[in-house]
């Protein structure tokens, strides 16, 4: 066999079995994001914007390769045999943030591992809680599938304690180590969507949701009196949502700039690389424009049409994940796809809601669009797992029976 045959054989195999459509959608969304990052980083100067764009482009290329590679992995077999190792990886990877490699960049959230401290000139930082989302979905899918394999009621108390205990443990670990409550919300949304898909009854969501809300209120009212809880910064992030005039130069400043940028774009925008706030270098310009508030960049420069096009592209990725899950060869694979779709949907909803000033600031990026090398690679890896599900279709005899 020639060298070229060895090189192109896996590509041909991927083209036949992998989800080429999903890869195309992911690349299109990433390309859209790369164009917005190029515009949003112009004010830094040539040397810095080139670095942002080159790192993002390299991450997209590497992510596409990871996507194709993971298509050939049987994740159900892997997780069933190595679930203990996967759980240990989750815990130890997050605990690495407590070592000298951990960094919060004055954001208040200890989210990043600075790899350049041990590997000089390493081009990107790594966010463990981004990567652990994937293994969390895989482990939760295995738990749900095993409960149903034993013909147990998924809404029974032992079943809820099992899947709920795993989720609460991960939420507590991330909250204690990272302090990132926005990421905790994403993990919670993943759990809700996967549990709902598995058939957990509505009363559990109402009971747990009501209990958590009551616990949070009691905690702030009775255990944090010295912080004047009504003006605590976490409470203020919610209060400014209902009254935009409450603190426009403080807790509401970022979202005030965002909504002004989006509104000024009107139908077709101010023009690519011509947004007033996007291109401004002063302190009153749009904040975090290449990361958290990149949707506002799209609104200012490309208008409503650009925003709708961006959301349509991301929606197609979510719908594709759901479609693959609906045609999965096993319950485990179906729950994995729904978990990946839930992860994307939750992050899209909270980021766009934050930019539109209808949800509080949580420090969440827009999938495939915002700048972030480790985030982009992780997202392509997640979609590669969905592609691996498609590559293992339901046997024809079983597929025929499922249509009865």
- Residue 117 confidence (pLDDT): 87
* DSSP bridge partners of 102: 113
Res 232 pLDDT > 80:
no
Of 144, 150, 256, which Cα lies nearest the Cα of 190? Answer: 144
Mean pLDDT of 357-378: 91
Sign, CA torsion 204/210/213/215: negative
In this prediction, residue 222 has a pLDDT band, given cuts at 50, 70 and 90, of low
Could you give the dihedral angle defined by the CA atoms of residues 387, 390, 391 and 392, in that order, rounded to the nearest 10 degrees? 130
Contact (Cβ atoms closer than 8 angstroms) between residue 326 and residue 397: no
Cβ atoms within 10 Å of 3's Cβ, excluding its own: 7
CB 102: neighbour CB atoms within 10 A?
19
Residues 373, 377, 378, 380: is their CA dihedral positive or negative?
positive
Q: What is the pLDDT of residue 23?
A: 96
Q: What is the spatial distance between Cα 100 and Cα 76, in angstroms, rounded to a whole number?
A: 35
Average confidence (pLDDT) over 269-293: 89
Q: What is the DSSP letter of 228?
A: T
CA distance 263 to 249: 18
Residues ≥6 apart with Cβ < 8 Å to 239: 246, 247, 251
| Predicted confidence (pLDDT) per residue in 313-334, tens digit | 999 999 999 999 999 989 999 9
- Asked whether the predicted pLDDT for residue 229 surpasses 80, the reply is no
- Concatenating the DSSP letter of every residue in 338-353 gives HHHHHHHHHHHHHHHH
* Residue range 265-286: mean pLDDT, rounded: 89
Q: Report the b/e string of 204-234 with b at 16+ CB within 10 A.
A: beeebeeeeeeeeeeebeeeeeeeebeeeee
Residue 191 structure tokens: 């759990």
At residue 150, the pLDDT reads 86
Q: What is the pLDDT of residues 171-209, one digit of tens each?
A: 989 988 988 888 888 999 999 999 999 989 888 888 877
Let me know: does 119 contact 139? Beta carbons within 8 Å.
no
Looking at per-residue pLDDT, the higher value among 37 and 47 belongs to 37
Paired tokens of 9: 């054989």
Burial of 385 from C-beta contacts in 10 A (0-12 / 13-18 / 19+):
buried
Does position 400 have pLDDT exceeding 50, yes or no?
no
Report whether 385 contacts 334 (CB < 8 A).
no
Range name among 23-32, 178-187, 226-235, 325-334 with the lowest pLDDT average:
226-235
């Amino acid at each position: 066999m020639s060298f070229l045959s060895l090189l192109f054989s896996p590509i041909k195999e991927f083209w036949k079995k992998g989800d080429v459509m999903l890869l195309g959608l992911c690349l299109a969304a990433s390309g859209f994001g790369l164009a917005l990052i190029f515009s949003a980083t112009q004010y830094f100067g040539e040397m810095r914007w080139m670095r942002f764009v080159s790192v993002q482009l390299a991450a997209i290329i590497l992510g596409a390769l990871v996507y194709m590679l993971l298509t050939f992995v049987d994740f159900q077999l892997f997780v069933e045999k190595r679930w203990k190792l996967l759980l240990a990886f989750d815990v130890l990877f997050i605990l690495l943030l407590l070592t000298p490699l951990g960094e919060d960049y004055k954001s208040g959230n200890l989210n990043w591992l600075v790899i350049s401290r041990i590997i000089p000139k390493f081009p990107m930082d790594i966010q463990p809680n981004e990567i652990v989302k994937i293994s969390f979905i895989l482990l939760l899918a295995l738990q749900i599938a095993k409960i149903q394999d034993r013909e147990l009621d998924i809404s029974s108390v032992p079943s809820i304690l099992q899947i709920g205990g795993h989720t609460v443990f991960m939420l507590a670990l991330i909250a204690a180590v990272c302090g990132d409550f926005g990421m905790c919300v994403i993990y919670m949304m993943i759990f809700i969507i996967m549990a709902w898909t598995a058939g957990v009854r509505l009363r559990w969501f109402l009971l747990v949701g009501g209990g958590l809300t009551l616990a949070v209120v009691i905690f702030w009212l009775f255990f944090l009196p010295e912080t004047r809880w009504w003006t605590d910064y976490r409470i203020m992030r919610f209060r400014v949502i209902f009254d935009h005039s409450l603190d426009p130069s403080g807790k509401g400043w970022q979202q005030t700039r965002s909504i002004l940028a989006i509104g000024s774009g009107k139908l077709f925008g101010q023009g690519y690389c011509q947004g007033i706030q996007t291109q401004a270098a002063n302190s009153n310009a749009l904040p975090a424009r290449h990361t958290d508030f990149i949707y506002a960049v799209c609104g200012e420069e490309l208008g409503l049409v650009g925003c709708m096009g961006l959301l349509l592209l991301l929606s197609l990725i979510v719908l594709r994940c759901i479609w693959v899950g609906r045609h999965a060869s096993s319950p485990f694979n179906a729950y994995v796809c729904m978990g990946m779709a839930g992860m994307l949907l939750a992050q899209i909803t909270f980021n766009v809601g934050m930019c539109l000033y209808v949800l509080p600031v949580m420090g969440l990026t827009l999938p495939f669009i915002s700048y972030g090398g480790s985030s982009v690679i992780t997202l392509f890896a997640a979609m590669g797992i969905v592609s691996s599900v498609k590559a293992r279709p339901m046997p024809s005899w079983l597929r025929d029976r499922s249509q009865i």
